[in-house]
Chain A
Amino acid sequence: MNSNTIYLDNSATTKPLPEVMQTFLQVNELYYANPASIHEAGVEANALLMRAREQIANIVRTEAKDVIFTAGGTESNNFAIFGTAQANVHKGKHIITTKIEHPSVLEAVKILAQQGFEVDYLSVNEAGVISLDELRSKVRKDTILVSIMHVNNEMGAIQPIQDAAKIIHEQSRAIFHVDAVQSFGKIPVQFNDQNGPDLITISGHKIHALKGSGALIFRKKLTIAPYIVGGGQEFGLRSGTVAVPQAVALAKASRIAVEAMAEKTLQYEKWYKDLHLFLRNFGSNIHLLSSEAGAAHIISFSVKELKGEILINALQKHGIIVSTSSACSSKQTTTSHVVEALNIAPSFKKGVLRLSFGAQTIDAHIEQFKTIFSDIMCDLKGENK
């Protein structure tokens, strides 16, 4: 990518931070051994792995042994869902999730539905938020799993995780899984004793660590079946040689993100408000999908009667990279399931754009976006006439 590129697609993926890459390279050079090997080189690699585990555990307030490294967010979500279902099928076959989850949750529960599990999908309001009343009415004695994402990847809605946890734990013995891929490192994600989630998914490449790294984090010992089986690594829960350099890089990126969180949040909020005002100038031509109660690093909006692809192409001619609703669904021609769930007017369904900020976003990027976007809108209006 050109170094002048203005990259505003950090919810799709991020560029590794230089210091994270440095860590990755260093570990590769010095601690390349297999952490399961019993010789000194293996023991050293394992010590490093344990330290990485501990650092991530500290951030989410759990114990080191409860951090299970995986190949990323998708695998963690699959692991949480299939693992919970397999190990708890004798307690019930009822699962609750929402209509706006990431495909790695939705596709997994779809498979389970084909296998005879019963799945309820919670609706969301215009701001993309679930109703706690609906949740309360759906949780049953035989509910074994509830999976609710923390921050939505397409428009940034934040779900009331703590309140949901309370309802779920009061009304059932269900395991509560939270896909925190878009929130970890940006807003606080923590286990909160009895009233928190049981499982949290995090991903490395969304927080300037490496692709192919992530974790499923446990609040405490839970009955979950391993999903990838073999050598019995990761306390028997996830087999395969652990990629120590990636794990250490993930811990490093997590620490950097958490330390910078307060400062970054202020920045993101400023940009969010700024863009919010800017977009409102276009009046009824633009509909904002994101609400101010949502996460500040994602702003999603739609231009009336326009295709998102046209805007993306126009912007990238000027070196600005944004996306339609999400990378995973951006090649599909159908409307995103999240946009559908938000129940917006048909004229706004095709023109969704998502801007997402990251650690390398600066004021000038936002200003440049505004300038170019105004020009494009002007041109388009001209063409319409």
Chain B
Amino acid sequence: MTTIYLDHAATTPMLKEVLVEMTAAMETVYGNASSIHTAGREARKALDEARAILAKQLGATANDIILTSGGTEADNMAIFGVAYARKHEGKHIITTEIEHHAVLHACEKLERQGFKVTYLPVDETGRVAVSAVEKALTADTILVTVMYGNNEVGTLQPIEEIGELLKHHPATFHTDAVQAFGLEKIEVEKLQVDLLSASSHKIGGPKGIGLLYAKAGTKMDSLIYGGSQEKKRRAGTENIPAAVGFAKAAQLMAEAQPKTRKAYEQYKAILIEEFTQAGIEFTVNGNEEHMLPHVFNVTLPGTDVESFLVNLDMAGVFVSSGSACTAGSIDPSHVLVAMYGKDSAALRSSIRFSFGQGLNEELVRDAGKRTVNIVKRLT
């Protein structure tokens, strides 16, 4: 039985071209980019090129790209960094109830240190209202952090509108774009964000690398201290092979974007068609108008997520109940709770399909059929 991997929002396999470039980088530019000898200079050049490619994807300049060990570190750096650097100006932070835990747990830690955090609710489609952000803003607000696209249900947030709103407020604006980078066209200037997090392993790049875009002049402390790498903003020997791989993945994803979007829309249509034809009951979660292309979260009434996932797993269909990060546990998703309330039956019967490279229509249809069979058996 072929296994069908539909959990690309959790992580993706590396793209072939990325593997090739990374391998070459490990063989040829293994020097320490901080060394002054030739080996170091060659490494530095490869790093600069990778950084320029990544910057280009965001419409940013290379100097504004800080390479990190991943999305979580980038989110932590943005939140702790701004909070500590601006604590004398105010101690209020605004975020949403549906952020990734890398944002939520950082905010909770700050609350224990005396910061005040407002967690904005979302509507049933998982979207936050710009007016809610406006209402929450005070003279004390130093940071607003709202994710670009939700990892569990795929809803896109009104980032550009919030950016416009914050034009007239001194708060720093951060967006966690881990799920959107590479799949959506992102221009930091148009969005008017000061900080943006992205990750490599969600787009066919290597694990263990990500970035934080930081607009020039953004007041922010470091998170990792030591050597003066990344213009003294993030210490640690530069991870050049991974940076090269990340840049390659970002480039390939950007080139493939129109094609990818179309394909993923088709995959969603196929799954909907399979469910409809089989006559099983289902509702699609998220916001029809504002959606990430690769996330498809559905509620299948009557199923119980735990046994459902086990059965899908045995049928070779790899999906998830939400985010992979809640390490092995299937606690009710905080995102669905925010959308539907803690007593909703949807919390126990929703699963996430997420698309990526290596899939095709037949595989998705096959996965749809296998899913239908299990639903019929279980309900």
List residues of chain A with CB under 8 Å of any chain B CB.
1, 5, 7, 9, 12-16, 21, 25, 28-29, 32-34, 36-42, 70-75, 77-78, 102-105, 107-108, 110-111, 205, 210-213, 228-233, 239-246, 309, 312, 316, 321-324, 327-332
Contacts and interface: CB of A to CB of B under 8 A. Distances in A.
A244 B208 CA distance: 9
Contact of A33 (B29, B39, B229, B318): B318
Interface of B: 3, 5, 7, 10-14, 19, 23, 26-32, 34-40, 42, 68-73, 75-76, 100-103, 105-106, 109, 199, 201, 206-209, 223-229, 235-242, 309, 312-313, 318-321, 323-328, 330
Contacts of A104: 224-227, 235-236
A74 B73 contact: no
Contact of B26 (A5, A210, A230): A210
Nearest to B178: A241
Contact of B208 (A42, A212, A229): A212
B36 A241 contact: no
A39 B72 CA distance: 22
B30 A103 contact: no
Given A107-B235, A243-B208, A321-B37, A327 B32 contact: yes
Contacts of B5: 33, 41
Chain A interface, DSSP helix/strand/loop, else mixed:
loop
Contact of A72 (B40, B225, B236, B323): B236
Given A36-B325, A230-B325, A331 B10 contact: no
- Most chain B Cβ neighbours within 10 Å, of A36, A229, A231, A233: A229
Given A16-B30, A108-B226, A212-B208, A41 B3 contact: yes
A240 B71 contact: yes
A330 B32 CA distance: 11
A103 B35 CA distance: 15
20 contacts: A12-B34, A25-B19, A32-B12, A36-B10, A36-B326, A38-B313, A73-B237, A108-B225, A211-B240, A229-B105, A233-B325, A240-B70, A246-B207, A316-B37, A323-B37, A324-B36, A327-B35, A327-B237, A328-B227, A328-B228
A323 B106 CA distance: 39
Contact of A5 (B23, B39, B106): B39
B109 A330 contact: no
Contact of B106 (A37, A229, A330): A229
Contacts of A229: 76, 101-102, 105-106, 109
Contact of B236 (A29, A37, A74, A243): A74
Given A210-B26, A245-B207, A231 B35 contact: no
A75 B225 contact: no
B228 A37 contact: no
B318 A40 contact: yes
A177 to B, nearest CB: 14
Contacts of B238: 211
A59 B27 CA distance: 27
B249 to A, nearest CB: 12
B226 A211 contact: no
A309 B37 CA distance: 9
Nearest to B100: A230
- Most chain B Cβ neighbours within 10 Å, of A28, A103, A245: A28
A228 B34 contact: no
A331 B272 CA distance: 58
Nearest to A245: B207
Contacts of A73: 236-237
Contacts of B105: 229-230, 232, 239
A72 B40 CA distance: 19
Contacts of A205: 237
B223 to A, nearest CB: 8
Nearest to B318: A39
A309 B41 CA distance: 14
A210 B10 contact: no
A329 B224 CA distance: 17
Contacts of A103: 225-228, 235
Given A230-B101, A230-B106, 16 more contacts: A9-B35, A25-B23, A29-B19, A37-B320, A38-B309, A38-B330, A41-B3, A72-B236, A78-B225, A103-B235, A107-B225, A211-B237, A229-B76, A229-B101, A231-B326, A241-B72
A13 B25 CA distance: 14
Nearest to B5: A41
Contacts of A242: 207
